[in-house]
Structure 1
Amino acid sequence: MASPYSMQAQTLVNGRPATQIDVTDRALAYGHGLFETLLVLNGKPVFYPAHLQRLLHGCERLGIPVAGLAQQLEADLECMKLPHTPAVLKLILTCGSGGRGYLTPDPASPVRILMLTPMPTYPDQPELGVQVRWCSTRLACQPLLAGIKHLNRIEQVLARNEWTDPAVREGIVCDTDGWVIEGTMSNLCFIKHQRFCTPLLDQAGIEGIVRNQLLQLAAELGLETEQGRYTPEQVESADELLLCNSLIGIWPITRLGERRYAPGPFTAQLQTALQQRMISC
């Protein structure tokens, strides 16, 4: 069970303290919006420029106006008291309110929601290794949505509800063509024959910020890197398996289904390198 640091949660809506939005918001009706989840260290959001770039890219995909958005978010952050203890900053951008029908209002009035909450801690030390499983839920192939972090997470909800065993920390999902894509809340990477591999995300899945950092760090460590299409059998035959996201960093996989893995040396090197980059960024 996670236990939080003692800190006061904060919520801003369009730069002002608030905890409610209009019931006609298109995020509620259609999932028309995006979100980013950031780790806060030493009073700063980690990898903020990369998160902002993914958010802006997602806005372009979903037809959400971005004029002045970067400056508005900077002002919002100035209004928040970011702690020096680790915390979680969730940024939600909706397309704003609109009437009935799918057509986006013209002009649209996006709504910015920033939520600061305590960082969970994990007494069972998942950074040393976790058990994961395969999910039967499949992700739809939709290149228009692939890579971005849109608000419609119902596929992930269905996948995560496939198990209740607390010993299983994550589930791995494939797309409707059978290719391995990611975890329900993380990206999947693996190492085989000194090659760092991670699924290609041009049809489904989220292009994770930490995933992209690891592609860079792996190359710096002398590993060949590859983004490709992999079957479950290819993933299971890896030398080292790991999960990653902006909050957990890296969790080595020590069991996938019935197969067991020892935390490997390259995963340990990547954990150290990522931690150093997070602290210094």
Structure 2
Amino acid sequence: MTKSPFMLINGVATDTVAVTDRGLAYGDGLFETVQLRAGRPLLLDLHLERLRSGCERLAIDTRTLFVDLQQDLQRLKSLCPMQSFGVLKILVTRGAGGRGYLPQAGMTPTRILMLSVMPEYPHSPAQVGVRVRWCDMALALSPRLAGIKHLNRLEQVLARSEWDDPYIREGLLCDTEGFVVEGTMSNLLWVRGSRLYAPLLDRCGVAGVVRGRLLQLAVAAGIEVVEGRFGKIEFEQADEVMLCNSLIDIWPVVTLGARHWSVGPVTRQLQSLLAKDYLAC
């Protein structure tokens, strides 16, 4: 039997949020998805740093927010054995308020912490690689929202609805100008020659925590990193392709339509570097 999620909302063990909450009404908020190992949240400081940055971008009041979140985390540990779960999701909305787009002054942010079991990923995708496809959905350019993990994920919902083949693990998205951006749930990296390539995320897409950490680890290991705007043709000339996020870590891509790749040495090196980095968390 699947274990039910355990939730805290504003420090209280409940699964109820106000119907007037702006996260529900407008997607006015942010979220972080954190992997737990033996109850230990991986890269938590980086997740909270991105959450803080997103709150500043959306002008969500943070005066007591992060003190409150730390207290929520301690309460979560005291109420629930975190080691029996694999995923911690942190959501912050602007709070509950009246109708209309204009936020009311003095709103108190809503804090939601949710523990869930780790998703099952059969057939060892991190080892043998995965099959992916291009999505028809294109990401709109929105520099004001680019990079942050806001609650409005309708583009990703529509993109993920394009296929139901269980053997296709992910769909790849371009922006409306045709530049490769990311997967529906993951960031995209690839290798050509001796260089590691990553799409720029200054106009759309999510700047993933694991993506950012992998780029740092690559530079420290002497791998040249190139961020830029690349079309499908340039991307498909890669020697190695990989997906990454906070739950899957790194999945090599081995098939995209008629294009096939082997799991390459840089992918294996980054998997090893990330695993060592997690031990230091």
* TM, length-normalised to structure 2: 0.95
Moved more, 26-35 or 115-124: 115-124
Partner in structure 1 of residue 48 of structure 2? 52
Selected match of 1:66 from 59, 62, 66: 62
Identity of aligned residues (%): 51
Amino acid of the structure 2 residue aligned with 1:244: C
Matches within 5 A, 1:173-212: 173-212=173-212
8 A contact 1:41–1:279 mirrored in 2 = no
The alignment status of 1:94 with 2:93, answered yes or no, reads yes
Local SS of the residue matching 1:136: strand
Moved more, 131-140 or 270-279: 270-279
Partners of 1:138 and 1:278 lie apart in 2 by 33
Partners of 1:221 and 1:256 lie apart in 2 by 28
1:8 is displaced (CA, Å) by: 6.2
Partners of 1:84 and 1:269 lie apart in 2 by 28
Partner in structure 1 of residue 167 of structure 2? 167
Amino acid of the structure 1 residue aligned with 2:158: L
Partners of 1:122 and 1:150 lie apart in 2 by 25
Q: In 2 relative to 1, CA 85–225 (structure 1 residues): closer, same or farther, beyond 3 Å?
A: farther
1:191 is displaced (CA, Å) by: 0.6
Partners of 2:105 and 2:82 lie apart in 1 by 38
Partners of 2:277 and 2:262 lie apart in 1 by 25
1:103 is displaced (CA, Å) by: 0.6
8 A contact 2:85–2:115 mirrored in 1 = no
Partners of 1:226 and 1:214 lie apart in 2 by 13
Q: Which runs of 5+ in 1 are unaligned?
A: none
- Please list the CA deviations of residues 22-54 of structure 1 after superposition, one character each: whole Å capped at 9, or x if unmatched: 101111111101000000113221111111111
Output the aligned Cα RMSD.
Answer: 1.3
Partner in structure 2 of residue 233 of structure 1? 233
Partners of 1:250 and 1:259 lie apart in 2 by 20
The alignment status of 1:78 with 2:74, answered yes or no, reads yes
Partner in structure 2 of residue 257 of structure 1? 257
- Please list the CA deviations of residues 204-240 of structure 1 after superposition, one character each: whole Å capped at 9, or x if unmatched: 0000000011101111222100111010111111000
Selected match of 2:36 from 34, 40, 60: 40
8 A contact 1:39–1:86 mirrored in 2 = no
Local SS of the residue matching 2:48: helix
Partners of 2:85 and 2:234 lie apart in 1 by 36
1:120 is displaced (CA, Å) by: 2.0
8 A contact 1:131–1:256 mirrored in 2 = yes
1:85 is displaced (CA, Å) by: 5.2
The alignment status of 1:138 with 2:138, answered yes or no, reads yes
8 A contact 2:65–2:109 mirrored in 1 = no
Amino acid of the structure 2 residue aligned with 1:43: G
Local SS of the residue matching 2:82: coil
* TM, length-normalised to structure 1: 0.95
Local SS of the residue matching 1:120: coil
8 A contact 2:253–2:261 mirrored in 1 = yes
Partners of 1:194 and 1:66 lie apart in 2 by 42
Local SS of the residue matching 2:55: helix
Partner in structure 2 of residue 13 of structure 1? 9
